[in-house]
Amino acid sequence: MIFKIALKDFLTNLLSSRFVIGLLLCLVLIPFSILISVNNYQSRVAQYRIDREAADKAVKEVRVYSKLRPEVVFPPEPLSVFSMGISNQVGSHVKIWLGDKPMLAAGKAEAGDNPFLGAFFSVDFTEITAIVFSLLALIFSYDVLTREKEDGTLRLQMSNSLGRSTFLAGKVLGILLTLLPVLIFSFLLASIFIVFSSHISFTASEWGRIVLLFAISLLYLGVFVFIGLLVSSHSRTSVTSLVLCLFLWVGLVFLIPNLAANFAASFVRVQSRDNLDRVLADIDHELTERTHQAYKAAGIPESSSCWTCMEDSDGGFETYGNPRPGFEQFRRGAEISEPLRIEYADRRWTMQKAYLDSLSHQANVSEELSLVSPTGIFRAIASALCTTDLRSRENLMDRTRQYREAFIRYLEGKNIFSSFRWITPASPDSFYPSEDALIEKRTGGEFKSAHAFWTWAGQQKDQYAAFQKLFKVKLPGDGPEDFPYLDVSDMPRFPDRPPGLFSGLEGSVLNVGLLLVEVVLLFYLGYVAFLGFDVR
């Protein structure tokens, strides 16, 4: 009997204008959104390739380990074509520094030519499901009881030996039978676009996640069907029920999630970035002080002359053409400064983590508040399934920090901070024993000692011409061009780890449970309300 009622409702709905409109809506919106999402993904892939190429080139073109700073470039998540989540708002690459743990990714995610040009339509597949299917579910369920009552068919049906639970189950099944093909059609349409798109391909586990997304969409649909049922069983007329349902729809789909974000932004304070930068500057200053003290204690002069030096932040230092004592001084300096730099990165991280935690806390409060609405729950689960949620991003950044540790271990494994290779590709065997020997060689024997040269140079009016004496003889190893790039084939690489079917979904179990509870609770409340529904 349940199936008979369901089939009757299914056929009635199928012939209704609301079904045709719903189907047309999906037919227009789904391909449109998928097309835009695939284009967006394609643009992010293009940017990823540019960034990746630049990062690979930068790593390959270093001659000293102190300049070796790998850059992690995150590939765009293929599933983001279904749910963008936060992937468009966060950066796409992270440079690995010794003195700083990765905090936030840098760079833009898309390779657009015009940053001012924003697509006016940026609603993704999940958003369309959240908005359109909740509306469709309510449109088919708001009058599930009141319409039959108004049409007079309810009395005729209930005059038979037909239990209310049977009747209700039939009605619910009828709505689900109506909406299920539309939902399947939408997912199939999106999947066909993906399959036939040359710019994107999914792994088996990613397809598995789409199936999970479908199941969650079905649950979400169920929630709104039962909301419609509950409202219908408490309403006297279909018009009242429709108005109530529309109010609820606007509230649940738009108001609550937006209010949650606004509430979190207004009442949950994040730490000031300026304040963090000030604290970090203090730590950097302390590091500089401590490094100076350590140099002093070790008898390393604060400054020294250098034939060819290229220095950057984070201890990147490349030098050529010095006498052995010069190289030795720089080596000893690095031996002291680099472990200190790594140590202070941990201290910086304590502050950075507190800042990051405050950002995460604000986002989490927003998400948790939005869980009041089934739409909030659905969005949270969908973005987790598509690995575009905050937790997935945090996991990615955790992995990036772990990669930094692995990189440091790689350097330490080579005992590189104590090695000349940290600062120069030149072999220690090729170092000139003293500055005197070096100057004698450079000047072609004109000056026998450094003292002699500097004294003479000090007396010259044309300093430029005087220094040209030092370039009289070109020595091998005086500049970078004399050395090949480092072989870093043994350097650890950031592991690209595509998500497994269920990996990273632990946090979503509660949300799925919440959605299930809502389905069961709403059905129960609707059922209880229908038991007292006046069928006359």
**Which residues are at the interface with other proteins (CB under 8 A)?**
1, 4, 8, 11-12, 15, 151-153, 155-163, 534-536
Minimum distance between the CB of residue 174 and other proteins, rounded to whole angstroms? Answer: 12
Minimum distance between the CB of residue 154 and other proteins, rounded to whole angstroms? Answer: 9
Minimum distance between the CB of residue 30 and other proteins, rounded to whole angstroms? Answer: 27
The owner of tokens 């072989």 is: 487
- Look up residue 404 and give its amino acid: R
C-alpha to C-alpha distance for 536 and 534, rounded to whole angstroms:
6
Minimum distance between the CB of residue 10 and other proteins, rounded to whole angstroms? Answer: 12
Residue 319: HSE in the Cβ half-sphere, 13 Å Cα cutoff: 24
The residue among 146 and 352 lying less far from other proteins, judged by its C-beta, is 146
Minimum distance between the CB of residue 525 and other proteins, rounded to whole angstroms? Answer: 22
The owner of tokens 């995460």 is: 360
CA distances from 44 to 31, 37, 94, 385 (A): 20, 10, 16, 19
SS3 at position 394: helix
User: Strands 317-320 and 308-311: what pairing?
Assistant: antiparallel
Minimum distance between the CB of residue 12 and other proteins, rounded to whole angstroms? Answer: 6
Could you tell me if 508 and 388 are in contact, meaning their C-beta atoms sit under 8 angstroms apart? no
Structure-token pair, residue 48: 């990823």
The residue among 150 and 328 lying less far from other proteins, judged by its C-beta, is 150
How many angstroms from the chain centroid is the CA of residue 352? 18
The residue among 4 and 448 lying less far from other proteins, judged by its C-beta, is 4
Minimum distance between the CB of residue 150 and other proteins, rounded to whole angstroms? Answer: 9
- Look up residue 229 and give its amino acid: L
Minimum distance between the CB of residue 228 and other proteins, rounded to whole angstroms? Answer: 20
Q: For residue 72, which of 60, 59, 58, 55 has the smallest C-alpha distance?
A: 55
Q: For residue 193, which of 24, 78, 111 has the smallest C-alpha distance?
A: 78
The residue among 3 and 467 lying less far from other proteins, judged by its C-beta, is 3
The residue among 114 and 160 lying less far from other proteins, judged by its C-beta, is 160
CB within 8 Å of 396: residues ≥ 6 apart: 74
Minimum distance between the CB of residue 7 and other proteins, rounded to whole angstroms? Answer: 9
Could you tell me if 133 and 175 are in contact, meaning their C-beta atoms sit under 8 angstroms apart? no
Strands (E), 336-468: none
The residue among 4 and 49 lying less far from other proteins, judged by its C-beta, is 4
C-alpha to C-alpha distance for 141 and 143, rounded to whole angstroms:
5
The residue among 98 and 175 lying less far from other proteins, judged by its C-beta, is 175
Cα angle 368, 134, 206; round to 5: 70
323: phi then psi, degrees, rounded to nearest 5? -75, 165
The residue among 175 and 512 lying less far from other proteins, judged by its C-beta, is 175
The residue among 7 and 309 lying less far from other proteins, judged by its C-beta, is 7
